[in-house]
Structure 1
Amino acid sequence: MKISRLEKKKRLYLLELDKKEQLYITEDTIVRFMLTKNKEIDDKTLEAIKTFAQFSHGKNIALYFLSFKLRTEKEVTDYLLKHDIEKNSISNIIQQLKEENWLNDQKYSETFIEQSLRSGDKGPYILTQKLKQKGLDEKIISQTLEQYDFTEVAQRTAQKLLRKHEGRLPVNALKEKITQSLVTKGFSYTDAKAAFDTLIIEDDDENDNALIEKELDKQYRKYSRRYDGYELKQKLTQALARKGFDYDTIKTVLRDYLD
């Protein structure tokens, strides 16, 4: 069979054989097989051209995708599948990109964690889940995390949470709120508690009294419509305790409030 047409179309070239079969190929394919118009090729060569053209096109797409930022093997694989690159070609593309150091899941994991350590507020558990979603092997994630200390991140995040909630909650509730928030952000309970213990929280009896009085007014309006006497006192005690107020303080305030 003979090449009857070889014409550039944007990023690819249109290859036409005997004015019947058409396929798109890359410039690398033309160079590799020394293709020119009117050149004779056999079926075996045509199959080799198709295979290499798919590989070359897919690699170019992958390199474009990688030009913006680091990616994982899974991200590149999904991107190539989205662009209709055949699975066999994808496997070869991924292998070559790894050999040329365009793809390195270990390096990706380290960079991702280091960026989070510098400016993020997430602990190891959340980062593990995020990296798993990006297709990283659990062993790589685990080995990478072992290299880093999250103490400073936990303390920095605890300080931020303190600025947000201080003055709005009693100390007991503040401790529970900050500790639980740190756990939610991916820190272990032990690390969250240790981070909270580094905080300097000034006692402010006047503020605490204002907080409990405000909350008591709110809870009284809620429960006094349905309860009275001892039952009302119990409901108010339970409600205030759930808000983190100290039992002795609740007892004192309720005595003055209800008598």
Structure 2
Amino acid sequence: MKITAIEKKKRLYLLELDGSDKLYVTEDTIVRFMLSKDKVITPEELSEIKDFAQFSYGKNLALYQLSFKQRTTREVRDYLAKHEIEEKTMERVIKNLQADGWLDDAKFAASLIEQNLLSGDKGGYVLKQKLLQKGIAASIIDEALAEADFSEVCQRVAEKLLRKYEGKFPTKGLKDKLIQNLTSKGFSYSEANQAVQGLELEKDQESELDLIYRELDKQYPKYSRKYEGYELKQRLTQALARKGFDFSDIASALREYL
């Protein structure tokens, strides 16, 4: 069969064969097989051209996606599937990109973790879930996390949280609140506890009592409508204890308040 026409489209070339059959190919395909008008090709050569054209098109799609930012293998595979690249061709593209260093899940994981250590606010547990969602194997993630020390970022986040919550909770309640927030961000309990201990929080008795009275002003109207006497005192004690106030401070405040 003969190539009767070659027409340049946006990203592809349209080949016309024997004046009727049409085939879209990439520029790489044109160069690789030295295709030109009036060139005669065999059925075997046409099969090779089609196969390479599909591979070349898939690779170009992947490189276009990767030109914006680093991607995981699964993200590239999903992108190619969205563009209806056949499974066999897709795997060939993936292996080629990995061999050329365009795709490297271990490098992706290490890069994300390093970026978080420098300017992020997440702990290892949250980062692992994020990387798992992107299709990176747990073994690769665990290896990358084993190389990371989250103590500094945890301390940095703890200091930021302290500025947010200081003056709103008693010392014990503040510590509990900080640890709760830090663990929710993916830090281990030991990392969170160590960071909070590093803040060297000191109890200010006057401030603690002031917080208790402010809290009583909020809780008393609610409970006094339903309870009185001993039951009211118990309900208020429980409510204040849940906020992290010491029982001795609670008892002292209630004696003055009730």
Same fold (TM over 0.5): yes
Give the letter for the 1:169 counterpart.
Answer: F
Q: Does 1:218 align with 2:218?
A: yes
Q: CA deviation at 1:34?
A: 1.4
SS at match of 2:15: strand
> 1-side partners of 2:254 and 2:43: how far apart?
94
Structure 1 residue aligned with 2:78: 78
Q: CA deviation at 1:210?
A: 1.9
Deviations 1:59-108 (A, max 9, x none): 11111111222211111111111122111111111111111111111111
What is the 5 A alignment of 1:23-38?
A: 23-38=23-38
Cα RMSD of the aligned pairs, angstroms, is: 1.2
SS at match of 1:163: helix
User: What is the total number of aligned residue pairs between the two structures?
Assistant: 258
Structure 1: tracts of 5 or more residues without a match? none
> 2-side partners of 1:242 and 1:203: how far apart?
18
> 2-side partners of 1:124 and 1:141: how far apart?
10
Runs of 4+ in 1 over 4 A off after TM superposition: none
Q: CA deviation at 1:159?
A: 0.7
Structure 2: tracts of 5 or more residues without a match? none
TM-score w.r.t. structure 1 length?
Answer: 0.96
What is the 5 A alignment of 1:167-206?
A: 167-206=167-206
> 1-side partners of 2:23 and 2:81: how far apart?
19
Give the letter for the 1:226 counterpart.
Answer: K
Q: CA deviation at 1:233?
A: 0.8
SS at match of 2:29: helix
Deviations 1:89-148 (A, max 9, x none): 111111111111111111111111100000011111111111111111111111111111
Q: CA deviation at 1:206?
A: 2.8
> 1-side partners of 2:19 and 2:235: how far apart?
88
> 1-side partners of 2:171 and 2:204: how far apart?
10
Give the letter for the 2:65 counterpart.
Answer: F
SS at match of 1:16: strand
> 2-side partners of 1:120 and 1:246: how far apart?
35
Structure 2 residue aligned with 1:120: 120
TM-score w.r.t. structure 2 length?
Answer: 0.96
Give the letter for the 1:71 counterpart.
Answer: R
> 1-side partners of 2:195 and 2:28: how far apart?
57
Structure 2 residue aligned with 1:16: 16
Residue pair 2:171, 2:202 contacting (<8 A) in 1 also: no
Structure 1 residue aligned with 2:245: 245
> 1-side partners of 2:249 and 2:101: how far apart?
64
SS at match of 1:129: helix
Structure 2 residue aligned with 1:99: 99
Q: CA deviation at 1:202?
A: 3.8
Structure 2 residue aligned with 1:129: 129
SS at match of 2:129: helix
> 1-side partners of 2:41 and 2:93: how far apart?
26
